[in-house]
C-alpha cells in the first residue's frame, strides 16, 4: 500500500553563525491515507522543521518527502496548516477568514459556494452564529476552532498541525480534541500533529511517533489500537495508562540522549 | 452623550487655551507689538479674509501634494526595506542621515536648482520632510510580519504578490496611518518653511512674512492660528481614512 506521506531518510541542518546546527537525522515517517500521525519529542528537537518540510516550505539537505506518490519540491495546494498561534486576520470576519484558502486555491468558485462551505465547517465546530464576529471578539479556543476550519476548508489531503492546542487551558484543549475527532469522522483527511502532550497524542493519533533529541530521528513508533470513536473516558483506562507510561519512558530516553534537557 | 463629549472636550480644551493666552497677555500688560492676544485676532481675520482664503488654499494644496508624494515614495521605500535585508542595510544610514539634515538648509539649494519654480519647490520640501516616518513604519510593519501568516498562504502556493495584497498590506495599515499622522504635521512645516524663507513666496507662510515686515503682530498670530487649524483639519482627515481602512485595529474601550 502506498503511503500518503512518506518521509525517507531526511537529514537537515540549519546554517548558523556557530556552524551547522543539525536538527533532523535520517528521519523516516510513513503515514497511510486517512491516518492520524501524532509526533511527540523533547522541545527544540526539530518538530516544527518537520511540518515545514511536509508543507513544502523548505527542502531537506538530504532525503525525500513524498506526498501522494509525488516528490515534494515546493508548496502544494493540497495542504492545510494550523499553528499554536491561530494567526487569524484581524481585519476579516471569522467567515472571511475561513474562506481565505479558497480564494487562493479556487479563485473561480462563486462566493456563495465558498461561504456555504465555510459555514458548513463553522457549524461542525460549534461556531455557527459567530461567523460575522471579528477574531478579537472570540475566545482563544474559539479562535483556534476557526483556524482549524480555515486549515481544512479547501479539503486538503494533508492537515499539518504544529502544537495547535498548546496555548489553550486543559478543558478547552479536551473540547478541541473531541472536535478534531468529530471533524475527522465527517471530513476524512490525513493528519500530522506535532504536540508535546502525550494524552493528546494517544487520544487523537492512529500512530504516535517519538522523536529523539536533536538531531531528531525516529526513535519509537506506537500503533494506537483504539476505536475511532474514542471518548475522553478512554484516557483513564489501564490500557491507555500503559501506553502513556511507555511513551513517557521514551521521552525520558529522548531527553537523556540530548543531555541539554532535564 | 458620547458624541457630545467627543466634540465638547476638545473644543473646551481649545477655549481654555485661548483664555489662558489672553490672560497671560493681559496680566503682563504686553502691548500688541510684543505679543498679540486672541481678542486681537478677529479684526485681523476680517481685514485680510480674502488673503487668508487664497493663501490658505495655496498652503493646503501644496502640503497635500507633497504628502501624496511622500505616501507613494515612502511606501515604496518601506516595501524595499521590509522585504530585503540588503535594501534595509543599505538604505537606513542614508535615510537617517538625510532626515538629520535641517531642512531649512535645503531651501537655498532647491531655490537654486529650480529657480522660480515656487510651487514645485514647496511641494518638494513638503515631500522631503515627511516621507521618512512612512518609509520606516511600512518597513518595520513588513519585516516584523510573523512567519506563520506568510506560511498559511505560501503553503497553498500563493504568489508573493498575493501574500502582500491579502496579508502584508492590510496588516501594515495601522502602522502606516500612525506614521501618516506624524507626516501630516511635518509636511505643513516643510511647506511653510519654503513659503517663509523664499522671497516673493506665496501661501500662509508668505502672509506671515508680510505681517512680520509690517510689524503687524495680530496678523502674524492670525496666520499661526490658521496654520494650526489647517493642520488639525488634515489630521482629522487622516483619522477618517484610518477609521475606514484600518478601523479593525481599534480595540473596543474597556
- Same domain? A144 vs A171: no
Task: Please indicate, yes or no, if residue B2 is contained in any of the structural domains.
Answer: no
Please tell me the predicted confidence (pLDDT) of residue A70: 82
Q: What value, to the nearest 5°, has the Cα angle with vertex B186 and ends B183 and B187?
A: 85
**What is the C-alpha separation between B29 and B22, in angstroms, rounded?**
10
B247 CB burial (10 A radius; 0-12, 13-18, 19+): exposed
Characterize A206-232 residue by residue with b for buried, 16 or more Cβ atoms within 10 angstroms of its Cβ, and e for exposed. Answer: bbbbbbbbbbbbbbbebebebeeebee
- A188-232 pLDDT, tens per residue? 889 999 998 999 999 998 999 998 887 888 888 888 888 888 888
Q: How confident is the model at residue A261 (pLDDT cuts 50, 70, 90)?
A: very low
A113, A130, A155 - which closes a domain: A155
The answer to whether residue B253 neighbours chain A at the CB level (below 8 Å) is no
Residue B193: which CATH number? Answer: 1.10.3720.10
Of the residues A155, A180, A197, which one is the last residue of a structural domain? Answer: A155
CB A11 within 8 A of CB A60: yes
Q: Are residues A150 and A167 in the same domain?
A: no
Is the pLDDT score of A262 beyond 70?
Answer: no
pLDDT at site B1? 60
Given strand A79-83, what is the order of strands in its sheet? A79-83, A158-162, A190-194, A36-40, A207-211, A218-223
pLDDT for the residue A259: 47
With beta carbons under 8 A apart, name residues in chain B contacting A105: 156
Q: Which of B247, B88, B192, B226 is nearest to A136 (CA)?
A: B247
Which residues of chain A are within 8 Å of residue B157 when distances are taken between CB atoms?
Answer: 74-77, 104
Digit-coded pLDDT (tens) for A83-128: 888 899 989 999 999 999 999 888 888 989 999 999 999 998 888 8
Residues A131, A6, single domain; the answer is: no
Mean pLDDT across B125-143: 92
Q: Which of A87, A88, A103, A156 to mutate to test the interface with B (most CBs of B within 10 A)?
A: A87
Q: Are residues A108 and A172 in the same domain?
A: no
Q: Which of A241-245, A254-258, B136-140 is least confident?
A: A254-258
* Nine-digit cell string for B169: 498590506
Is there a domain that residue B249 lies in?
Answer: no
Residues A218 and A198 in one domain: yes
* Residue A163 and residue A92 share a domain: no
Say if residue A85 is in the same domain as residue A127.
yes
Note whether B155 contacts A79, CB cutoff 8 Å: yes
Which position has the grid cell 515604496? B76
Which of A97, A120, A155 is where one domain is finished?
A155
Which pLDDT band, with edges at 50, 70 and 90, does B234 fall under? very high
pLDDT in tens, B40-86: 889 889 999 999 999 999 999 999 999 999 999 999 999 999 888 89
| pTM to 2 decimal places | 0.78
Residues A126 and A256 in one domain: no
Same domain membership, residue A83 and residue A67: no
Strands A70-71 and A62-67: antiparallel
Is A178 found in the same domain as A127? no
Phi, psi of B126, rounded to the nearest 5 degrees: -60, -40
Which element (helix H / strand E) includes B132? Answer: helix B118-143
Is the torsion defined by CA of A4, A78, A116, A36 positive or negative?
A: positive
Inside any domain, residue B108:
yes
**CB of B123 within 8 A of CB of B67?**
no
- B154 inside 8 A of chain A by CB: yes
Give tens-digit pLDDT for B146-200: 888 888 888 888 888 888 888 888 889 999 999 999 999 999 999 999 998 887 7
CB contact under 8 Å between A104 and B251, yes or no, is: no
Structural domain containing residue B66: 39-244
Q: What is the CATH number of the domain that holds A212?
A: 3.40.50.300
Q: What is the DSSP letter of A16?
A: E
Which residue blocks in A89-236 are alpha helix, DSSP H?
94-105, 111-124, 140-152, 170-186, 198-204
Domains: count for chain B:
1
Q: Tell me: the pLDDT tens digits for B10-45?
A: 889 999 999 999 999 999 998 888 888 888 889 889
Q: Report the number of distinct structural domains present in chain A.
A: 2
Identify whether B252 is part of a domain.
no
Which chain A residues are Cβ-neighbours of B151 within 8 angstroms? Answer: 52, 55, 57, 81, 83
Percent share of chain B, pLDDT over 90: 51
Residues A74 and A177 in one domain: yes
A168 in the same domain as A216: yes
Measured between CA atoms, how close is B127 to chain A, in angstroms? 30
Best of B146, B151, B156 to substitute, by most chain A Cβ atoms within 10 angstroms, is B156
C-alpha cell belonging to residue A58: 523548505
Q: Is residue B8 part of a domain?
A: no
Instruction: ipTM value, please give it.
Output: 0.78
Contact B155 A83 (CB under 8 A): no
Mean pLDDT of chain A: 86
Place of cell 510651487: B119
What pLDDT is attached to residue A13? 85
- Residues of A in Cβ contact (< 8 Å) with B166: 89, 100, 103
The pLDDT assigned to B57 comes to 93
Which residue in the set A87, A105, A134 is minimally distant from B156, CB to CB?
A: A105
Evaluate whether residue B5 is within a structural domain.
no
Whether residue A107 lies within 8 A of chain B, CB to CB, comes out as no
Q: What's the pLDDT tens digit per position in A72-83?
A: 888 888 888 888
Is residue B112 in some structural domain? yes
Across the range A173-196, mean pLDDT stands at 88
Q: What residues make up the domain containing A186?
A: 1-78+158-261
Per-residue pLDDT, averaged over B115-120, amounts to 84
Model confidence at B229, in pLDDT bands (50, 70, 90)?
very high
Residue B51, domain member (yes or no): yes
User: Distance between CA B142 and CA B59 in Å, rounded?
Assistant: 33
Amino acid at each position: 500500500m502506498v503511503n500518503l506521506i512518506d518521509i525517507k531518510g531526511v537529514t537537515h541542518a540549519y546554517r548558523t553563525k556557530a556552524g551547522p546546527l543539525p536538527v533532523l537525522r535520517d528521519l523516516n515517517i510513513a503515514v497511510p491515507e486517512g491516518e492520524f500521525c501524532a509526533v511527540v519529542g523533547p522541545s527544540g528537537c526539530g518538530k516544527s522543521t518537520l511540518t515545514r518540510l511536509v508543507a513544502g516550505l523548505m527542502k531537506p539537505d538530504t532525503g525525500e518527502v513524498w506526498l501522494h506518490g509525488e516528490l515534494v519540491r515546493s508548496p502544494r495546494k493540497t495542504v492545510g496548516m494550523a499553528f499554536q498561534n491561530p494567526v487569524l486576520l484581524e481585519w476579516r470576519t471569522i467567515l472571511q477568514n475561513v474562506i481565505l484558502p479558497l480564494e487562493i486555491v479556487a479563485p473561480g468558485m462563486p462566493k456563495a459556494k465558498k461561504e456555504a462551505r465555510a459555514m458548513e465547517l463553522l457549524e461542525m465546530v460549534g461556531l455557527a452564529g459567530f461567523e460575522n464576529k471579528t477574531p478579537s471578539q472570540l475566545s482563544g479556543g474559539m479562535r483556534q476552532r476557526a483556524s482549524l476550519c480555515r486549515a481544512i476548508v479547501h479539503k486538503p489531503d494533508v492537515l499539518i498541525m504544529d502544537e495547535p492546542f498548546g496555548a489553550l487551558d486543559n478543558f478547552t484543549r479536551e473540547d478541541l480534541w473531541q472536535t478534531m475527532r468529530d471533524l475527522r469522522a465527517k471530513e476524512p483527511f490525513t493528519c500530522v500533529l506535532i504536540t508535546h502532550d502525550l494524552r493528546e497524542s494517544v487520544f487523537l493519533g492512529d500512530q504516535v511517533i517519538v522523536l529523539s533529541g536533536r538531531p531528531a530521528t525516529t526513535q519509537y513508533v506506537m500503533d494506537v489500537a483504539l476505536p475511532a470513536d474514542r471518548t475522553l473516558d478512554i484516557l483513564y483506562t489501564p490500557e491507555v495508562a500503559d501506553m502513556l507510561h511507555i511513551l513517557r519512558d521514551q521521552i525520558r530516553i529522548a531527553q537523556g540522549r540530548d543531555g541539554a534537557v532535564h | 452623550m458620547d458624541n457630545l463629549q467627543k466634540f465638547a472636550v476638545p473644543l473646551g480644551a481649545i477655549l481654555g487655551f485661548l483664555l489662558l493666552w489672553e490672560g497671560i497677555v493681559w496680566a503682563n500688560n504686553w502691548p500688541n507689538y510684543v505679543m498679540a492676544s486672541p481678542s486681537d485676532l478677529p479684526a485681523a481675520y476680517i481685514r485680510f479674509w480674502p488673503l487668508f482664503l487664497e493663501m490658505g488654499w495655496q498652503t493646503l494644496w501644496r502640503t497635500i501634494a507633497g504628502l501624496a508624494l511622500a505616501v507613494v515614495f515612502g511606501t515604496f521605500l518601506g516595501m524595499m526595506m521590509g522585504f530585503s535585508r540588503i535594501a534595509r542595510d543599505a538604505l537606513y544610514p542614508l535615510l537617517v542621515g538625510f532626515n538629520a539634515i535641517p531642512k531649512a538648509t535645503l531651501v537655498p539649494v532647491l531655490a537654486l536648482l529650480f529657480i522660480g519654480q515656487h510651487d514645485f519647490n514647496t511641494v518638494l520640501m513638503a515631500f522631503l520632510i515627511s516621507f521618512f516616518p512612512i518609509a520606516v513604519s511600512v518597513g518595520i510593519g513588513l519585516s516584523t510580519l510573523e512567519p506563520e501568516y506568510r506560511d498559511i498562504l505560501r503553503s497553498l502556493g500563493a504568489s508573493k504578490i498575493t501574500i502582500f495584497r491579502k496579508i502584508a498590506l492590510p496588516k501594515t495599515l495601522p502602522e502606516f496611518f500612525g506614521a501618516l499622522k506624524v507626516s501630516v504635521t511635518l509636511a505643513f512645516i516643510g511647506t511653510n518653511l519654503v513659503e517663509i524663507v523664499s522671497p516673493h513666496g506665496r501661501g500662509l507662510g508668505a502672509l506671515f512674512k508680510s505681517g512680520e515686515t509690517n510689524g503687524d503682530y495680530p496678523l502674524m498670530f492670525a496666520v499661526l492660528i490658521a496654520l494650526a487649524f489647517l493642520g488639525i483639519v488634515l489630521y482629522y482627515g487622516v483619522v477618517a481614512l484610518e477609521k475606514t481602512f484600518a478601523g479593525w485595529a481599534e480595540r473596543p474601550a474597556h
